[in-house]
Amino acid sequence: MATEMIRPVEKSVKGLPTSDGAGVKLTRIIAGPELNMLDPFLLLDEFKNDDPAHYAAGFPDHPHRGFETLTYMLAGDFEHRDSRGNHGHLTAGSVQWMTAGKGVIHSEMPLQKEGLSWGFQLWLNLPAKLKMTEPRYQDIGPEKIPVVKREGLEVKVISGTFEGTKGPGQSHLPMTYLDVKLAPGVAWTQESPLDHNAFIYPFEGSVQVGPAGKEKTMARGNLAVLGTGTSARALGGEKGGRFLYVAGQAIGEPVARGGPFVMNTPAEIQQAFLDFRMGRFG
């Protein structure tokens, strides 16, 4: 029987306040100065505002090519439209998984005029062989996301598998996306293949992450990059905690970025801008 290796906290990253879209205030956790990327994850943003002035302008029409965006809403009401005629609705507890592939122009605009807007957007890279794939959408309502519950633990399985329960999100490469809630002192563990990179991002309370006796306390707003191992482990902090656990198979290819485009070479980025200007994004 193989020996289980619990992943330690390799690095702690604090998010950077910034804005995007038409002035939406958010916190950038991956794609900031402390952590440019964690293959295959290109970006992680948390947006949490209860002042409409900080989210009402939304994210008007903008293009993407070469990767996927995963938007997970905790609170709020957004509408999505794109240049191919697709239309979606993001409400509390729902996920939109957009594969931009060879190119799409889309918008994400709030329908609400008051109240809390809270969620996350993750950018997931695509390997070279899939960068020009056809765009697709997975609109996943909260009723489609299975929840594993037992005393002191609640896990929403968005993608991948937890204790035999499989999430609805379909990824091109092996990945896991969980929303985990722990009561104080309650333990959670998750198999995590050696060829995956993984992180934990607490967004309520705190959790203790890592091997028994060597845990590191991670509070809200601080991302834990996990080191090498075959399993991830966390304990609920003094008042409990809730976090995202995300892991994915590393691609290991060159990455070239140009604003909303992510390809493998600078020449491919230049071609993406040309195609966009020439109206070739649908």
Round the average pLDDT of the chain to a whole number and report it.
93
**Residue 34 above 80 pLDDT?**
yes
Nearest Cα to Cα of residue 90 among 67, 106, 66: 106
Instruction: State the pLDDT at residue 282.
Output: 61
Ranking 16-20, 185-189, 190-194 by mean pLDDT, the lowest is 16-20
Condensed to tens digits (0 to 9), the pLDDT of residues 133-144 reads 999 999 999 999
Spatial distance between the Cα atoms of 150 and 173, rounded to a whole number of angstroms? 30
Residue 274, burial from CB neighbour count under 10 angstroms (0-12, 13-18, 19+): exposed
Instruction: State the pLDDT at residue 1.
Output: 35
Spatial distance between the Cα atoms of 63 and 135, rounded to a whole number of angstroms? 12
Instruction: State the pLDDT at residue 108.
Output: 86
Instruction: State the pLDDT at residue 147.
Output: 98
Spatial distance between the Cα atoms of 223 and 243, rounded to a whole number of angstroms? 9
Q: pLDDT-based confidence at 71, cuts 50/70/90? A: very high
User: What is the average per-residue pLDDT within 91-111?
Assistant: 92
User: What is the average per-residue pLDDT within 217-245?
Assistant: 97
**Residue 3 above 80 pLDDT?**
no
For the chain, give every domain's residue range: 9-266
3-state secondary structure 11-78: EEEECEEEEECCCEEEEEEECCCCCCCECCEEEEEEEEECCHHHCCCCEEEEEEECEEEEEEEEECEE
Condensed to tens digits (0 to 9), the pLDDT of residues 142-188 reads 999 999 999 999 999 999 999 999 999 999 999 999 999 999 999 99
Q: pLDDT-based confidence at 22, cuts 50/70/90? A: low
Nearest Cα to Cα of residue 40 among 257, 226, 249, 199: 249
Sign of CA dihedral 183, 185, 191, 194: positive
Condensed to tens digits (0 to 9), the pLDDT of residues 196-216 reads 999 999 999 999 999 999 999
**Residue 80 above 60 pLDDT?**
yes
Contact 247, 176 (CB under 8 A): yes
Class of domain 9-266: mainly beta
Spatial distance between the Cα atoms of 40 and 249, rounded to a whole number of angstroms? 7
Condensed to tens digits (0 to 9), the pLDDT of residues 37-60 reads 999 999 999 999 998 888 877 788
